[in-house]
Structure 1
Amino acid sequence: MFNTLLFYVADPAISVDFYTKVLARPPVEQSPTFALFILDSGLALGLWRKDGVAPSPIHQPGACDLGFKVTLDQLDKIHADWQEMGVTIALPPTKLDFGTSFVATDPDGHRLRVYTLAEDGAAE
C-alpha cells in the first residue's frame, strides 16, 4: 500500500518551487494540476490544484501539521536553512511539553512542524 498526504494548493508550480527547496529534492511526478514528492519516510506528499478537487475541500490550510521528526541539531540547521530561503516561520524553535519544535508555513498556509521528542533526550 502506498500512502499519500494531499495538500490542496492554489498554484502547483509555486508549491513545487517551495517544496523542491525545503525538501531538497524535485518532485517524482508533475503536471499543471498535480505534483508528487516522496519524503524520506516513504510517505508521498501530493500537491493538488484545489480548484480541481472533487468534492471541494471544506477546511482551510493550517488545520493540521505535516510533522518532520529530527534530532535537535537537525532542527536547528533546518530552521536556519529555511529562514535563509525566506520560508515563513509561524513559531520559532520552542521547547514544548513533548520536545522542541518550530512551525513553518508553505505558500498556501499549510503548516510544517519540525520537532524533536524530549523522551529521545534531544530537547532536555
Structure 2
Amino acid sequence: MLPFGLVVLYVKDIAASTHFYRGLLGTEPVESSANFVMFPMPPVMLGLWVQDEVKPAPAGGPGALELDFTMDSAKAVTDFHAEWVKRGFRIAQAPEKMDFGHTFVALDPDGHRLRVLAPNPS
C-alpha cells in the first residue's frame, strides 16, 4: 500500500487561504513560503499552493475538491453549522439528512467544499 500524507488545494490568494485555514483548523502552518503553506491535519497534512505556480497546470476549478470532517452525531453537525454561520463561512448546503447521514457543506475562499457529516450508524 502506498503511504498517503498530503492533500493539496490550489488557491488564488495564499494569504487569504492561510488566514482561513488557520482559523478553521486552529493551528499554525508547519511550512510557509511565498507560494505554498502546509498545515498539520492529522493523520495527513494540508497544503495550499498558489494555482498559478502549479506545474503542470491543474485541470478543474473551484469546488472540484471536497474535504470531509466526520462527526459522531447529527447534533455535532448542527452545532458546527451554527458556529460556521456565525464566523461568516459561505454555506453551500444547509444541514440535511442524506442517504449516507446528516451533513452540510461550506466553502473556503476558493470554493473548495468543506463537508461536515455524521455518517449513518452501521
Normalised TM-score (structure 1)? 0.89
Alpha-carbon shift at residue 52 of structure 1 (Å): 0.4
1:7 aligns with 2:9: yes
The aligned runs of 1:60-79 (5 Å cut-off) are: 60-72=61-73, 73-79=75-81
* Cα RMSD (Å): 1.3
Please, which runs of 5 or more residues in structure 2 have no aligned partner? none
Please, which runs of 5 or more residues in structure 1 have no aligned partner? none
The aligned runs of 1:48-87 (5 Å cut-off) are: 48-72=49-73, 73-87=75-89
1:62-102 C-alpha deviation (Å, 9 max, x unpaired): 12311111122322222122111101000011100010000
Q: Secondary structure at the match of 2:56?
A: coil
Counterpart residue identity of residue 21, structure 1: G
Other-structure match for 1:34: 36
Given that 1:13 and 1:32 are in contact with CA atoms closer than 8 Å, whether structure 2 keeps it comes out as: no
Normalised TM-score (structure 2)? 0.90
Structure 1 residue ranges, 4+ long, deviating more than 3 angstroms after superposition:
none
Which moves more between the two structures, 67-76 or 42-51? 67-76
Identity %: 43
More strand by share: 2
